[in-house]
Amino acid sequence: MNQVKAVFQGDFDLLENIKISPLSRGYTFSDGIYEVVPFHNNIPIAFDEHIIRFKKSADAMNIVFDESKVIDEMSQLIDMCDGNNGYVYYQISRGVDEIRSHIHNSNIEPEYFGYSLNYDFEDKKFKVLLCEDIRWGRCDIKSTSLLANTLMMNNAALKGCNEIIMHKDGIITEAGASNVFFIIDNTICTPSLNNNILPGITRDMSIKIFRKNNINVFEDNFSIEQLLSASKVWLTSSTKGMAEVTDVYSENHSIESENTLFNKCEDIFRTAFFND
Ligand code: PDD
């Protein structure tokens, strides 16, 4: 992980040289928000949409940030990255307290931190563990506070899985770091957005391009049983793109490998996502 280009409080440096205060609320309380913006051939994918969501998360957290600084620094990080394909991770945290205190000073200044990483958007398949969604009530905010996600995903990793699909009161919400789609009776389904789901940029892009190509997408509440009856399941995110799920564990459930509608969606998605 050497030579990763990063920025912290306006200073560009290698990631390994960046130091933060232990009284950063990002460190003590996970009091921050973030975005992951993929780029292909040095061009950011859905940049505006990521910035709009950043602002929504910031508004929900009462964090005021300098939007043009963030856009400029993210663009510079993309230019500085060794590879042409990758992603920028950018986080804005509340700031540094004088001493740890749940209630922060009203004049606290946000901390800006980002880095870019060379990354191959290769096709990856996922084995997921189905589990109860134990997260807080505002999963629509892209907060750095991801303890429940990491807990559940590491538990899944011990069982040989590389993602999870969560359900709340029997209703499917999303995956640990992605949104969920599936095909039932030749119809594309995805859970409708609410406070328990992050409004994924890749999810939104997928729905729009599928509909533009006259493929119906049905957004609703879906039960565990409906997910398990699907002929194909996939995940979407800025780093996964559109990634097939091969197995849903805990139910010992394998999904059939060939599906023409899925193949068609994958072609449409790749063209839109990578603009090729
Ligand atoms: N995760 N849901 C959750 C909980 C996520 O963490 C993510 C993204 C998504 C998909 O959002 P998008 O399509 O905008 O990437 C849905 C990022 C990539 C991460 O935490 O690394």
Residue 204 CA, closest ligand 1 atom number: 13
Share the mean pLDDT of the chain: 95
d(CA 94, CA 3): 27
- Measured by CA distance, the residue closest to atom 20 of ligand 1 is 177
Query: Tokens 């500085």 appear where?
Result: 80
Query: Tokens 């051939």 appear where?
Result: 41
Note the CATH number of domain 126-274.
3.20.10.10
d(CA 197, CA 52): 17
Does the pLDDT at position 272 exceed 70? yes
Q: Residue 122: which pLDDT band, with cuts at 50, 70 and 90?
A: confident
Q: Which tokens hold the place of 142? A: 């892209």
- What's the CA angle centered on 268, arms 266 and 273, to 5 degrees? 90
Best mutation site among 30, 34, 36 for ligand 1, i.e. most ligand atoms within 8 A of its Cβ?
Answer: 36
Residue in 142, 168, 232, 240 annotated catalytic: 142
Give the pLDDT of residue 121: 85
Does the pLDDT at position 252 exceed 60? no
Classified by CATH at the fold level, domain 5-118 comes out as D-amino Acid Aminotransferase; Chain A, domain 1 (3.30.470)
Hey, how many other C-beta atoms are within 10 angstroms of the C-beta on 228? Answer: 14
Ligand 1 lining (C-beta closer than 6 Å):
36, 174, 177-179, 198, 200-203, 236-239
Burial class of 113 by CB neighbour count within 10 A (0 to 12, 13 to 18, 19+)? buried
Q: What is the pLDDT of residues 139-163, one digit of tens each?
A: 999 999 999 999 999 999 999 999 9
Q: What is the pLDDT of residues 192-210, one digit of tens each?
A: 999 999 999 999 999 999 9
Cβ contacts of 100 within 8 Å, gap of 6 or more = 23, 28
Q: Give the least confident one: 95-99, 120-124, 238-242, 252-256.
A: 252-256
Domain ranges, ordered by start, for the chain = 5-118, 126-274
Say whether 149 sits in a helix, a strand or coil: helix
Which of 129, 130, 114, 141 lies closest to 60, judged by CA? 141
Q: Is residue 142 flagged as an active site residue? A: yes
Query: Tokens 């004049």 appear where?
Result: 107
CA of 238 from ligand 1 middle (Å) equals 7
